[in-house]
Amino acid sequence: MISVLLPSRGRPGPLAESVASLRDLADDRTRVEVLVAADPDDPATARATRDCGATLWRAPERFGYARLHEYVNALARQAGGQWLLLWNDDARMRTRGWDSRVLEAPPGVLWPEANGYTAENTFPIVHRAVVDRIGHVSLSPHYDSWLHDIAEQAGVHHRVDVEVLHDRFDFTGGHNDRTWRETRQQQRTAEFHSPDMVAARRRDADLLRSAPLV
Protein backbone atom coordinates (compact mmCIF):
# COMPACT_ATOMS: atom_id res chain seq x y z
CA MET A 1 0.00 0.00 0.00
CA ILE A 2 0.96 3.63 -0.56
CA SER A 3 -0.06 6.13 2.12
CA VAL A 4 -0.58 9.69 0.94
CA LEU A 5 0.19 12.26 3.67
CA LEU A 6 -1.73 15.45 2.93
CA PRO A 7 -1.97 18.45 5.27
CA SER A 8 -4.67 20.79 3.97
CA ARG A 9 -6.30 24.07 4.92
CA GLY A 10 -9.10 26.13 3.43
CA ARG A 11 -9.22 24.36 0.07
CA PRO A 12 -12.04 21.79 0.12
CA GLY A 13 -12.53 21.85 -3.65
CA PRO A 14 -8.86 21.55 -4.62
CA LEU A 15 -8.40 18.89 -1.93
CA ALA A 16 -11.08 16.71 -3.54
CA GLU A 17 -9.57 17.25 -7.02
CA SER A 18 -6.11 16.37 -5.76
CA VAL A 19 -7.27 13.12 -4.14
CA ALA A 20 -9.26 12.20 -7.26
CA SER A 21 -6.18 12.62 -9.46
CA LEU A 22 -4.27 10.11 -7.34
CA ARG A 23 -7.04 7.52 -7.36
CA ASP A 24 -8.15 7.95 -10.96
CA LEU A 25 -4.63 7.40 -12.33
CA ALA A 26 -3.70 4.49 -10.06
CA ASP A 27 -3.59 0.98 -11.47
CA ASP A 28 -5.25 -0.18 -8.25
CA ARG A 29 -6.93 2.54 -6.21
CA THR A 30 -7.50 0.13 -3.31
CA ARG A 31 -3.79 0.23 -2.53
CA VAL A 32 -3.77 4.05 -2.23
CA GLU A 33 -4.54 5.23 1.31
CA VAL A 34 -5.11 8.99 1.71
CA LEU A 35 -4.65 10.62 5.13
CA VAL A 36 -5.53 14.30 5.54
CA ALA A 37 -4.46 16.56 8.41
CA ALA A 38 -6.94 19.35 9.19
CA ASP A 39 -6.90 22.13 11.77
CA PRO A 40 -9.61 22.16 14.46
CA ASP A 41 -10.89 25.52 13.15
CA ASP A 42 -11.30 24.25 9.56
CA PRO A 43 -14.54 22.23 9.34
CA ALA A 44 -14.71 22.60 5.55
CA THR A 45 -11.53 20.57 5.14
CA ALA A 46 -12.84 17.93 7.54
CA ARG A 47 -16.07 17.61 5.52
CA ALA A 48 -14.21 17.44 2.21
CA THR A 49 -11.94 14.74 3.61
CA ARG A 50 -14.88 12.56 4.60
CA ASP A 51 -16.72 13.26 1.32
CA CYS A 52 -13.78 12.01 -0.76
CA GLY A 53 -13.33 8.90 1.38
CA ALA A 54 -9.99 9.88 2.90
CA THR A 55 -8.98 9.41 6.53
CA LEU A 56 -9.11 12.53 8.68
CA TRP A 57 -6.63 13.43 11.40
CA ARG A 58 -7.50 16.55 13.36
CA ALA A 59 -4.56 18.47 14.76
CA PRO A 60 -4.93 19.30 18.46
CA GLU A 61 -4.28 22.94 17.54
CA ARG A 62 -3.45 24.91 14.44
CA PHE A 63 0.25 24.37 13.78
CA GLY A 64 0.48 26.50 10.64
CA TYR A 65 3.15 26.29 7.99
CA ALA A 66 5.93 26.99 10.49
CA ARG A 67 5.13 23.60 12.07
CA LEU A 68 4.13 21.78 8.89
CA HIS A 69 6.39 18.85 9.72
CA GLU A 70 4.31 18.14 12.83
CA TYR A 71 1.27 17.42 10.66
CA VAL A 72 3.31 15.13 8.44
CA ASN A 73 5.00 13.28 11.29
CA ALA A 74 1.61 12.68 12.91
CA LEU A 75 0.14 11.36 9.66
CA ALA A 76 3.13 9.05 9.18
CA ARG A 77 2.43 7.49 12.57
CA GLN A 78 -1.13 6.71 11.43
CA ALA A 79 -0.17 5.42 7.99
CA GLY A 80 -0.28 1.76 7.06
CA GLY A 81 1.58 1.91 3.75
CA GLN A 82 4.95 0.54 2.71
CA TRP A 83 5.52 3.87 0.96
CA LEU A 84 4.60 7.38 2.13
CA LEU A 85 3.85 10.02 -0.51
CA LEU A 86 4.24 13.60 0.75
CA TRP A 87 1.47 15.45 -1.05
CA ASN A 88 -0.23 18.87 -1.32
CA ASP A 89 -3.79 19.96 -2.01
CA ASP A 90 -2.49 22.04 -4.94
CA ALA A 91 -0.84 19.01 -6.57
CA ARG A 92 -2.28 16.83 -9.34
CA MET A 93 -0.99 13.44 -10.40
CA ARG A 94 -0.22 13.23 -14.13
CA THR A 95 1.13 9.67 -14.60
CA ARG A 96 -1.21 6.74 -15.17
CA GLY A 97 -0.08 3.69 -13.23
CA TRP A 98 2.02 5.79 -10.85
CA ASP A 99 1.30 3.43 -7.97
CA SER A 100 2.81 0.43 -9.78
CA ARG A 101 5.96 2.40 -10.56
CA VAL A 102 6.37 3.35 -6.91
CA LEU A 103 5.82 -0.16 -5.61
CA GLU A 104 8.45 -1.55 -8.00
CA ALA A 105 11.14 0.88 -6.78
CA PRO A 106 13.98 0.06 -4.36
CA PRO A 107 13.70 1.24 -0.72
CA GLY A 108 14.77 4.81 -0.11
CA VAL A 109 13.39 8.21 -1.09
CA LEU A 110 11.86 8.42 -4.57
CA TRP A 111 12.08 11.57 -6.67
CA PRO A 112 9.17 12.25 -9.06
CA GLU A 113 9.24 15.14 -11.50
CA ALA A 114 7.13 18.23 -10.73
CA ASN A 115 6.47 20.90 -13.38
CA GLY A 116 9.60 19.87 -15.23
CA TYR A 117 11.70 21.17 -12.33
CA THR A 118 14.54 18.77 -11.63
CA ALA A 119 16.62 20.60 -9.00
CA GLU A 120 14.54 19.68 -5.96
CA ASN A 121 12.42 16.72 -4.87
CA THR A 122 9.16 18.57 -4.18
CA PHE A 123 6.97 15.49 -3.60
CA PRO A 124 9.21 12.85 -2.02
CA ILE A 125 7.93 9.29 -1.76
CA VAL A 126 9.52 7.73 1.30
CA HIS A 127 9.87 4.05 2.10
CA ARG A 128 8.59 3.11 5.55
CA ALA A 129 12.04 1.75 6.41
CA VAL A 130 13.46 5.29 6.15
CA VAL A 131 10.96 6.73 8.62
CA ASP A 132 11.40 3.80 11.00
CA ARG A 133 15.18 4.19 10.88
CA ILE A 134 15.35 7.94 11.61
CA GLY A 135 12.22 8.13 13.80
CA HIS A 136 10.38 10.87 11.87
CA VAL A 137 9.73 12.23 8.42
CA SER A 138 11.36 15.61 9.07
CA LEU A 139 12.33 18.00 11.85
CA SER A 140 11.69 21.01 9.62
CA PRO A 141 8.62 22.37 7.80
CA HIS A 142 10.74 22.14 4.64
CA TYR A 143 10.29 18.38 4.70
CA ASP A 144 10.84 18.01 0.96
CA SER A 145 14.29 19.59 1.21
CA TRP A 146 15.00 17.62 4.40
CA LEU A 147 14.32 14.29 2.74
CA HIS A 148 16.13 15.29 -0.45
CA ASP A 149 19.22 16.23 1.55
CA ILE A 150 19.46 13.19 3.81
CA ALA A 151 18.68 10.74 1.01
CA GLU A 152 21.34 12.29 -1.21
CA GLN A 153 23.90 12.11 1.61
CA ALA A 154 23.02 8.47 2.30
CA GLY A 155 22.92 7.38 -1.34
CA VAL A 156 19.27 6.25 -1.21
CA HIS A 157 17.75 8.94 -3.45
CA HIS A 158 16.18 7.38 -6.56
CA ARG A 159 14.42 8.86 -9.57
CA VAL A 160 10.98 7.43 -10.33
CA ASP A 161 9.21 7.93 -13.67
CA VAL A 162 6.22 9.78 -12.23
CA GLU A 163 5.09 13.30 -13.16
CA VAL A 164 3.23 15.73 -10.92
CA LEU A 165 1.63 19.10 -11.67
CA HIS A 166 2.24 21.52 -8.80
CA ASP A 167 -0.49 24.12 -9.36
CA ARG A 168 1.14 26.66 -7.05
CA PHE A 169 0.77 30.39 -7.54
CA ASP A 170 4.43 31.17 -8.20
CA PHE A 171 4.65 28.27 -10.67
CA THR A 172 1.32 28.34 -12.54
CA GLY A 173 -0.70 31.26 -11.15
CA GLY A 174 -3.08 28.84 -9.47
CA HIS A 175 -4.31 28.97 -5.87
CA ASN A 176 -3.60 32.63 -5.18
CA ASP A 177 -5.54 32.47 -1.94
CA ARG A 178 -5.27 33.07 1.79
CA THR A 179 -3.56 29.72 2.35
CA TRP A 180 -0.85 30.66 -0.15
CA ARG A 181 -0.27 34.06 1.42
CA GLU A 182 -0.06 32.63 4.95
CA THR A 183 2.44 30.05 3.74
CA ARG A 184 4.70 32.75 2.33
CA GLN A 185 4.55 34.69 5.60
CA GLN A 186 5.65 31.70 7.69
CA GLN A 187 8.70 30.56 5.74
CA ARG A 188 11.63 29.48 7.91
CA THR A 189 14.41 29.03 5.36
CA ALA A 190 17.12 30.53 7.56
CA GLU A 191 16.36 28.05 10.34
CA PHE A 192 16.62 25.14 7.89
CA HIS A 193 20.24 26.11 7.21
CA SER A 194 21.16 26.67 10.86
CA PRO A 195 24.06 24.63 12.35
CA ASP A 196 21.66 22.61 14.52
CA MET A 197 19.47 21.63 11.57
CA VAL A 198 22.47 20.81 9.39
CA ALA A 199 23.79 18.54 12.15
CA ALA A 200 20.37 16.89 12.57
CA ARG A 201 20.21 16.07 8.86
CA ARG A 202 23.72 14.66 9.02
CA ARG A 203 22.61 12.39 11.87
CA ASP A 204 19.63 11.20 9.84
CA ALA A 205 21.85 10.47 6.85
CA ASP A 206 24.28 8.55 9.05
CA LEU A 207 21.40 6.44 10.36
CA LEU A 208 20.30 5.65 6.82
CA ARG A 209 23.85 4.60 5.92
CA SER A 210 24.20 2.40 9.00
CA ALA A 211 22.59 -0.68 7.40
CA PRO A 212 20.74 -1.62 4.19
CA LEU A 213 17.11 -0.53 4.02
CA VAL A 214 14.70 -3.45 3.82
In the chain, domain spans: 2-209
User: Which residue intervals of the chain are DSSP H helices?
Assistant: 12-24, 43-51, 68-78, 98-103, 128-134, 143-154, 169-172, 178-185, 189-192, 195-209
What percentage of the chain exceeds 90 in pLDDT? 83
pTM, whole model, 2 decimals?
A: 0.94
Q: Cα-flanking dihedrals φ and ψ of residue 200, to 5°?
A: -65, -40
Residues 99-157 have pLDDT tens digits of: 999 999 999 999 999 988 777 899 999 999 999 999 999 999 999 999 999 999 999 99
**Which among 43, 28, 207 has a CA at the least distance from the CA of 101?**
28
Distance CA 140, CA 118 (A): 22
146-194: per-residue pLDDT in tens?
A: 999 999 999 999 999 999 999 887 777 888 888 878 877 777 677 899 9
Q: What is the pLDDT of residue 178?
A: 84
pLDDT (mean) for 46-59: 96
State which fold the 2-209 domain adopts: Spore Coat Polysaccharide Biosynthesis Protein SpsA; Chain A (3.90.550)
> What would the mean pLDDT of 39-51 be, rounded to a whole number?
97
